[in-house]
Amino acid sequence: MAYTALTCEELEQPLETLFRRAMIDNGDGSYSLQTVAFSAPLSFTLTSGSVTDTYTYRFDFEGFSGFVRNGYEGEASIGYPVWSVVRADNVVEVGSTWCVTDASAGVIYYSTDDVDDPRDCTTWILSLGGTLPLPVIS
């Protein structure tokens, strides 16, 4: 059987090397392949009174995914989440929440639902700068 050696352009390492590094030593002489679980899709459409657009996965912050509104990928970051859907602590004094931010990274909607993914939020709350209707993620 013939095969072609593949490389990861960013790391400039052969696929075989990357694969070996993905293995976990189970300590009993056996090995398992590390996997990363993503709930597909990695993008969604958010419709609200303030914005309707597609948001796409952009970064991780403290174990949660950050989604950025299409067209703002170059401006948004963990420290400056413009037009993002992100998880944050102590927002509007309600604890950990999922937040929808505006162009100045201000919170316009938030959800106190304790879920790992903003697509699982069932309750959204209007914050300063947001307009009704409340967001719907599909």
Phi-psi region of 20 (alpha: psi -120 to 50; beta: other; left: phi over 0): alpha
Q: What is the mean pLDDT of residues 77-81?
A: 84
Q: How far apart are the first and last CA of the chain?
A: 45
Q: What is the mean pLDDT of residues 14-39?
A: 63
Instruction: Tell me the pLDDT tens digit for each residue of 82-104.
Output: 898 988 776 655 666 899 989 99
Distance CA(29)–CA(133), nearest Å, equals: 57
pTM metric for this prediction: 0.67
Contact 18, 26 (CB under 8 A): no
Ramachandran angles phi, psi of 84, nearest 5°: -125, 160
pLDDT in the model for residue 106: 87
Let me know how long the chain is: 138
Domain boundaries, the chain: 1-35, 43-137
